[in-house]
């Protein structure tokens, strides 16, 4: 423990000597100012060491918890508290499980209801002395408790009379890395993959431990290491040995590893001529492969599968159902306790409304999946748009667990440079009422299992992590990683409260800084919606790259790859009719919700053009015409970004120069690109509406033809190839 303290002190001194670059995320542990430092020292004057803990935590979560506690207290208090064998008069911190610490066992704490990952933090008297106990049923629960305790200190919360009990409401809290074996990251905007497959298993980058710490600090307990568009080589023994090495690094922090499996792997690497899930040889191949994985990684979590979607192989290639494919894998994993996360993102086999396809394919299969299968359902029915109504599968699968998949990386929200805090997006979906069993049947209650009694629950987020020093490409994108973890632990938490935690831990506790930055964050996603896809528009991004506006695009082979497919703009109006007079996708929702969405008078205006084709002169609640309101929304989005820049410009005194300058530069990029979005979109839709712009809305800076000619052949995060630009980039946004 003394060695750990020395390392922590040296690490703190080294950190203060170098410039801030965002690498430490929300785990900076800066020296606290008075009176907080003295107040917390009184509570954490010593750490009580349980002798049994030394024996049970050689390299596990309890040892990680002890190390993190020393690291955090050393940084925050300026010196490591002494480690004592017994409680003295000084305020003491005691951590452990009833099994690892006799003092914890004697207190008979109410731990049973906390399960295998929950924790308790309580102020009490032990042997006549004041103490704070961090206890749990398991070592990993203690680890989560330590991070929660340090969060209290980092955010200046009172710690004298603590009585905190917390347990995760979701069992699987998983990051999905869309990382490829060649080091690229699909839809990644923070550099190359952090997994260096070339150097593994012999060299374990210290960054892997830092990644594990960050995930554990917010309760994430699983990581899918590779892209859902999977390379089958990941399942070969040379790569499985590399995966096993990574699993060994992540294990002490409570993280299980998962792999994306390519459905055709029996053909690709197994030498079979078929991947038919009902073929005995195929089933035997998967059983053998899964057995091999568990011999190398005994706590392997399971597989994520994208099948029969976007050209990926799947059971439908053989006339089989999604249930046939998922159950084959589930049967192989079940003896080992593994799960199958089967993605419900499917399209490409039908000419119907793309928003209908997942529901139409999976609802008839409800109840036909094995108990260890979860359907991984995107938050909305299209594809991670800035705003979508909740997916109709939430509330429709009563006998099959569904886990919600959200995108942390901002594929459709301006990549890394646009400030778009996604907490409000996640919260909006989680609080949406499906009415599946009457009022109060929220999406949160669906995925946490309380509505339908699911035996297994989960939430997944497509990671935004890369090799950049600040991990996510920008400072504020770290907040999206953070809020995902916190909401996956407890979907009832508030996005605003989580934003405040993150700001305090990442930048400053000064109220003069915290209040305006939290307000800026909470309005940022709505700003993006306004300048990109207002009033229920969706998928208006340029083809392939999804970077920049392209509402005019109509030349893609598949209809639903074209933005015009979604906006349906013509001389009469704009919007996709999903009512009974159109695709009737609205009928996939519960009757109460369907009635609300179907009626022009009751549909929330934020979903107006998602469900209705609306005349340009239709009057909205503001009294303005749809055309005027659309133009004003685009303009409001630009104005909101301009206001964010103004807010940030007044905060230089509260932030280190390095991070302040980066955020300022990115906000300038965002304002320029928001104006590009506004101008290009208005220029296109005005050619169809034939109406003048309302007062206060400036005319586009360029003719429509110039916006249509813009292209980006080397956009980051996109594996495809875009046509060469001729001339290249005639308009610089």
- Which comes out higher in pLDDT, residue 351 or 3? 351
> Do residues 567 and 446 both lie within one domain?
no
CA dist 725 and 713 (Å) reads 7
Contact 452, 400 (CB under 8 A): no
Active-site residue among 310, 510, 570, 658?
310
Residue 294 within a domain: yes
Residue 721 pLDDT > 80 = no
**pLDDT (0 to 100) of residue 722:** 61
pTM comes to: 0.96
Residue 714 within a domain: no
Residue 411 known to be catalytic: yes
Residue 393 pLDDT > 80 = yes
Q: Residues 285-300: what's their mean pLDDT? A: 98
**pLDDT (0 to 100) of residue 713:** 79
**pLDDT (0 to 100) of residue 16:** 39
- Which comes out higher in pLDDT, residue 683 or 1? 683
Residue 13 within a domain: yes
pLDDT tens string 663-692? 999 999 999 999 999 999 999 999 999 999
Residue 710 within a domain: no
Question: CB neighbours of 366 closer than 8 A, spacing ≥ 6?
Answer: 396, 397, 398, 399, 400
- For 68, 355, 370, 447, the CA distances from 441, given in Å and listed in that order, are 39, 22, 25, 11
Residue 577 known to be catalytic: no
- For 46, 105, 391, the CA distances from 81, given in Å and listed in that order, are 5, 24, 50
> Do residues 37 and 126 both lie within one domain?
yes
What does the angle CA 685 – CA 577 – CA 614 come to, to the nearest 5 degrees? 45
Residue 390 forms beta bridges with which residues?
Answer: none
**pLDDT (0 to 100) of residue 18:** 52
Report residue 4's pLDDT band, with 50, 70 and 90 as the boundaries: very low
Residue 285 within a domain: yes
Report residue 84's pLDDT band, with 50, 70 and 90 as the boundaries: confident
Q: Residues 559-579: what's their mean pLDDT? A: 97
Structurally, how many domains does the chain consist of? 3
Question: CB neighbours of 490 closer than 8 A, spacing ≥ 6?
Answer: 166, 168, 169
pLDDT tens string 19-54? 799 999 999 999 999 999 999 999 999 999 875 545
Residue 549 pLDDT > 90 = yes
> Do residues 72 and 192 both lie within one domain?
no
Q: Residues 640-648: what's their mean pLDDT? A: 98
Active-site residue among 324, 411, 500, 501?
411
Residue 267 within a domain: yes
360 burial (CB, 10 Å; 0-12 / 13-18 / 19+) is middle
Tokens matching residue 578: 């999903």
**pLDDT (0 to 100) of residue 15:** 39
> Do residues 192 and 161 both lie within one domain?
no
Residue 59 pLDDT > 90 = no
Report residue 730's pLDDT band, with 50, 70 and 90 as the boundaries: low
> Do residues 117 and 237 both lie within one domain?
no
Tokens matching residue 486: 């916190």
> Do residues 389 and 484 both lie within one domain?
yes
CA 476 centroid distance within chain: 14
Residue 511 within a domain: no
Residue 55 pLDDT > 70 = no
Which of 142, 166, 190 finishes a domain? 166
φ/ψ (deg, to 5) at 16:
-70, -20
> Do residues 283 and 357 both lie within one domain?
yes
Closest CA to 436 of 424, 423, 452: 452
Report residue 5's pLDDT band, with 50, 70 and 90 as the boundaries: very low
What range defines the domain where residue 277 resides? Answer: 172-506
φ/ψ (deg, to 5) at 517:
-75, -40
Residue 459 pLDDT > 50 = yes
Active-site residue among 148, 383, 448, 628?
383
Residue 723 pLDDT > 70 = no
> Do residues 90 and 206 both lie within one domain?
no
Residue 175 forms beta bridges with which residues?
Answer: 223, 461
Report residue 712's pLDDT band, with 50, 70 and 90 as the boundaries: confident
CATH number of the domain bearing residue 294: 3.20.20.80
pLDDT tens string 306-334? 999 998 999 999 999 999 999 999 999 99
Which of 423-427, 543-547, 586-590, 654-658 has the lowest average pLDDT? 543-547
pLDDT tens string 173-204? 999 999 999 999 999 999 999 999 999 999 99
CATH number of the domain bearing residue 122: 3.30.379.10
Residue 724 within a domain: no
Which of 166, 189, 205 finishes a domain? 166
Q: How many CB atoms lie within 10 A of CB 467?
A: 17
> Do residues 502 and 566 both lie within one domain?
no
Mean pLDDT rounded to a whole number for the chain: 94
> Do residues 108 and 159 both lie within one domain?
yes
> Do residues 127 and 196 both lie within one domain?
no
> Do residues 677 and 560 both lie within one domain?
yes
CA dist 706 and 379 (Å) reads 35
Residue 673 known to be catalytic: no
Residue 639 pLDDT > 50 = yes
CATH number of the domain bearing residue 619: 3.90.1330.10
**pLDDT (0 to 100) of residue 731:** 65
Contact 544, 718 (CB under 8 A): yes
Report residue 624's pLDDT band, with 50, 70 and 90 as the boundaries: very high
Which of 118, 144, 166 finishes a domain? 166
């Amino acid at each position: 423990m003394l060695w750990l303290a020395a390392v922590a002190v040296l690490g703190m001194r080294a950190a203060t000597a170098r410039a801030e670059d965002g690498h430490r995320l929300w785990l900076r542990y800066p020296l606290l100012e008075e009176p907080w430092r003295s107040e917390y020292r009184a509570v954490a004057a010593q750490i009580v060491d349980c002798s049994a803990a030394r024996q049970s935590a050689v390299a596990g979560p309890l040892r990680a918890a002890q190390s993190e506690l020393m690291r955090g207290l050393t940084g925050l208090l300026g010196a490591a508290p002494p480690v004592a064998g017994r409680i003295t008069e000084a305020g003491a911190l005691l951590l452990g499980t009833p099994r690892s610490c006799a003092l914890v066992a004697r207190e008979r704490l109410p731990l049973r209801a906390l399960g295998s990952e929950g924790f308790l933090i309580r102020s009490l008297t032990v042997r006549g002395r004041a103490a704070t106990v961090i206890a749990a049923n398991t070592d990993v629960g203690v680890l989560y408790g330590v991070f929660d305790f340090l969060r209290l200190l980092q955010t200046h919360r009172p710690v004298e009379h603590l009585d905190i009990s917390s347990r995760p409401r979701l069992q699987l809290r998983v990051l999905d890395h869309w990382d490829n074996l060649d080091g690229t990251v699909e839809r990644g905007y923070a550099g190359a993959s952090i997994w260096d497959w070339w150097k593994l298993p012999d060299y374990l980058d210290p960054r892997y431990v830092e990644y594990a710490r960050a995930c554990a600090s917010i309760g994430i307990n699983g990581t899918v290491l590779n892209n859902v568009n999977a390379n089958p080589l990941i399942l070969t023994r040379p790569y499985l040995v590399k995966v096993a090495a990574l699993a060994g690094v992540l294990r002490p922090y409570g993280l299980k590893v998962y792999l994306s499996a390519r459905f055709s792997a029996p053909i690709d690497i197994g030498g079979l001529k078929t991947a038919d899930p009902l073929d005995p040889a195929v089933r035997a191949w998967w059983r053998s492969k899964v057995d091999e994985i568990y011999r190398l990684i005994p706590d392997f979590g399971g597989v994520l599968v994208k099948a029969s979607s976007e050209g990926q192989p799947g059971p439908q290639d053989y006339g089989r159902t999604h249930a046939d494919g998922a159950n084959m894998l589930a049967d192989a994993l079940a003896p080992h306790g593994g799960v199958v996360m089967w993605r419900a993102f499917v399209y490409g086999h039908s000419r119907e409304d793309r928003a209908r396809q997942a529901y139409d394919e999976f609802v008839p299969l409800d109840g036909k999946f094995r108990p260890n299968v979860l359907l991984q359902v995107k938050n909305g029915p299209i594809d991670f748009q800035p705003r979508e109504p909740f997916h109709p599968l939430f509330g429709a699968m009563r006998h099959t667990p569904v886990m919600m998949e959200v995108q942390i990386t901002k594929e459709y929200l301006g990549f890394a440079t646009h400030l778009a805090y996604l907490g409000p997006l996640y919260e909006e979906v989680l609080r949406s009422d499906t009415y599946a069993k009457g009022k109060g049947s929220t999406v949160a209650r669906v995925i946490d299992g309380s509505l339908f009694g699911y035996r297994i629950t989960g939430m997944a987020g497509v990671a935004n992590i890369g090799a950049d020093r600040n991990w996510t490409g920008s400072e504020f994108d770290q907040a999206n990683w953070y809020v995902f973890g916190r909401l996956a632990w407890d979907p009832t938490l508030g996005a605003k409260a989580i934003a405040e935690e993150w700001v305090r831990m990442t930048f400053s506790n000064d109220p003069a800084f915290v209040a305006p930055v939290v307000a800026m964050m909470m309005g940022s996603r709505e700003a993006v919606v306004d300048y990109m896809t207002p009033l229920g528009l969706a998928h208006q991004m340029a083809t392939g790259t999804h970077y920049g506006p392209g509402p005019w695009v109509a030349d893609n082979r598949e209809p639903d790859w074209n933005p015009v497919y979604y906006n349906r703009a013509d001389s009469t109006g704009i919007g996709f009719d999903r009512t009974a007079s159109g695709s009737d996708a609205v009928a996939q929702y519960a009757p109460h919700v369907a009635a609300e969405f179907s009626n022009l008078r009751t549909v929330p205006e934020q979903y107006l053009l998602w469900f209705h084709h609306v005349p340009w002169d239709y009057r909205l609640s503001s009294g303005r015409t749809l055309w005027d309101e659309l133009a004003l929304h685009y303009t409001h989005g630009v104005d909101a970004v301009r206001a964010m820049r103004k807010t940030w410009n007044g905060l230089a005194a509260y932030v280190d120069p390095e991070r302040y300058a980066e955020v300022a530069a990115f906000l300038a990029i965002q304002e320029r690109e928001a104006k590009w979005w506004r101008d290009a979109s208005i220029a296109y839709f005005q050619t169809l509406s034939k109406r003048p712009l309302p007062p206060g809305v400036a005319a586009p800076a360029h003719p429509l033809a110039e916006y249509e000619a813009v292209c980006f052949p080397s956009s980051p995060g996109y594996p495809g190839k875009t046509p060469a630009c001729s001339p290249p980039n005639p308009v610089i946004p």
